[in-house]
Amino acid sequence: MPEIIVSKFFYNKEAAPLSYYKAHGGYEGLKKALGMTPGAIIAEMKKSNMRGRGGAGFPTGMKWGFIPKESKMPKYMVCNADESEPGTFKDRAIMTYSPHMLIEGMAIGSFAIGARVAYIYIRGEYVREAGILEKAIEEAYKAGILGEKVMGSDFKLDLYVHRGAGAYICGEETGLLNSLEGKRGEPRVKPPFPAIKGAFGGPTIVNNVETLAAVPAIILKGGEWFAGLGKFPNSGGTRLYCVSGHVNKPGLYEFACGAVTLRELIYDHCGGIRNGNKLKAVIPGGSSAPVLTANELDIALDIEPMMKAGTMLGSAGVIVIDETWSAVKAIKRITHFYAHESCGQCTPCREGCRWMEDVLHRILDGHGKMTDLDLLLNVAGNINGKTLCALGDAAAGPVISFVKKFRHEFEEMIRNETNALNGRLSAEQGKV
């Protein structure tokens, strides 16, 4: 029986209310945490080898440890529920079915870092989820879990839900903090990092929903237990894989970190490719992860193996593309997303993303030139690693990988001047 932590109550329509959560072992972690010292909680988190589930994979315990013990400014705990990476839908399920698991995790985190105010920054499109969270917070206040005396202790915590206005860049932690403060959603210059100077100038921790939802289990069962679940060193616990695209059984899958490979996930757990088609490509970590071809499937789904393979696990949004879909069309759509979502602050991302999109659009329209491919690689290279935040890398990485790995498709499209109106290949090209 594989270990299941955050998806324990998934698809159970009765699981959201406090009564159900409490009846099934809820808030035991918080109760235990309130009896510990903040230092002990952070030590437990460090032991757990929990790495942030939002995409960057930064060790959570280490992040919490960056918060200065003495601070003149109030400290804040912020939950990043702006889940906006294309192909990612795990946080939504957690908030729908286990809102109290998130609240409990946030309460433990707030206690550990000494925050008295916590925010859940939820993306604007998650209207229903925001409502569920509001309701759960109200329940928690009534039950004395939040407010002046958290579960009867001297610890005071206020928790607010803040809805975003629908911008990918507000999932970047400093962009999120700007938006939370009512400013334009633009990333800030780092350093200073949020742990030193974050929301409203105070030390702030920004954690992903899934990260925080796993905290109660870590506290309850111990960091060593959690670390032991991971199959690779320095990466503990389980994580949710969001599989979408051309597989027979898309959806959310929870496995221990690194326990399954990409091939096992697609063929054993997701029932293989639809209609018995051949696999063309997999984007393993949300649309900003460089693409993998059908020959690169025997990679364990964890942060380090993915990095070794030249891509990233990111938010574990696995997007599966089969042979019927044009790679050019796919990367055009991805690049359009990044050009649209670029905040426009720094030069390479603002100008470069749109340039790449225009060139890809031209190729799709049948006006491409062979030199465009090197141009694309060069422009993407000029964006990669040279921007203010990670959005530039997120936009450039996929373009580089798509052009490199599917160059033949681009060339074919340019040679045939295919007006690929809907992106599908002709019968000969795709053998549909």
Partner 1 sequence: MSPKCTIDGKEYEFKPGEMIIQIADRNGVAVPRFCYHPGLTIVAQCRMCAVEVEKMPKIQTACSTPAADGMVIHTGSEKVKSAQSSVMEFLLINHPLDCPICDKSGECDLQNYSFDYGAPDSRYEEQRRTYMDLDMGPVIKKNMNRCIHCTRCIRFCDEVGGFREMVALKRGNNVEITTVDGKALETDYAGNLADICPTGSLTLKDFRFRKRVWYLKKTKSVCEGCSRGCNIEIHQENGVVYRLLPRENMEINKWWICDEGRFNFHYVNAPSRIVEPSVKTAAQLETSDWSTALAEARRRISGKVLVLAGSDLTLEELRAIQKFAADRLKECALLHFGTPGHLSADDDKDEDKILRRTSKTSNLHGAEKLGLRGWKGDGSYDSALVFRGGRAALPHGLRRHVKGAIVGVGVFPREGAGDFDVVLPGLSYVEKSGTIVNWQGKEQKLQRSIEPVGLSKGIADVFAMWA
Give the residues lining the site for partner 1 (CB under 8 A): 167, 169, 184, 189, 191, 339-348, 350-355, 358-359, 362, 375, 382, 385-388
Q: Which is nearer to partner 1, 2 or 385 (CB)?
A: 385
- Nearer of residues 24 and 367 to partner 1, judged by Cβ: 367
Place of tokens 């389980």: 238
60 versus 345: smaller Cβ distance to partner 1: 345
Cβ closer to partner 1: 357 or 409? 357
Q: What minimum distance in Å lies between the beta carbon of 162 and partner 1?
A: 20
Closer of 243 and 391 to partner 1 (Cβ): 391
CA angle 303, 306, 312 (to 5 degrees): 75
CB of 220 to partner 1, least distance (A): 39
| Helix, strand, coil percentages for the chain (3-state, nearest 5) | 45, 15, 40
CB of 193 to partner 1, least distance (A): 13
Close Cβ partners of 151 (under 8 Å, ≥ 6 residues apart): 27, 30, 31, 34, 144, 145
CB of 421 vs partner 1, minimal distance in Å: 20
The answer to whether the CB of 334 falls within 8 A of the CB of 372 is no
Q: Which is nearer to partner 1, 87 or 348 (CB)?
A: 348
Q: Which run of H or of E encompasses 78?
A: strand 76-81
- Shortest spacing between CB 185 and partner 1, in angstroms: 8
Inter-residue contact 181 to 22 (CB < 8 Å): no
C-alpha 419/C-alpha 432 separation (Å) is: 18
- What is the 3 state secondary structure string of 85-107? CCCCCHHHHHHHHCHHHHHHHHH
- Give the chain's radius of gyration (CA, Å): 22
Shortest Cβ 348–partner 1 spacing (Å): 6
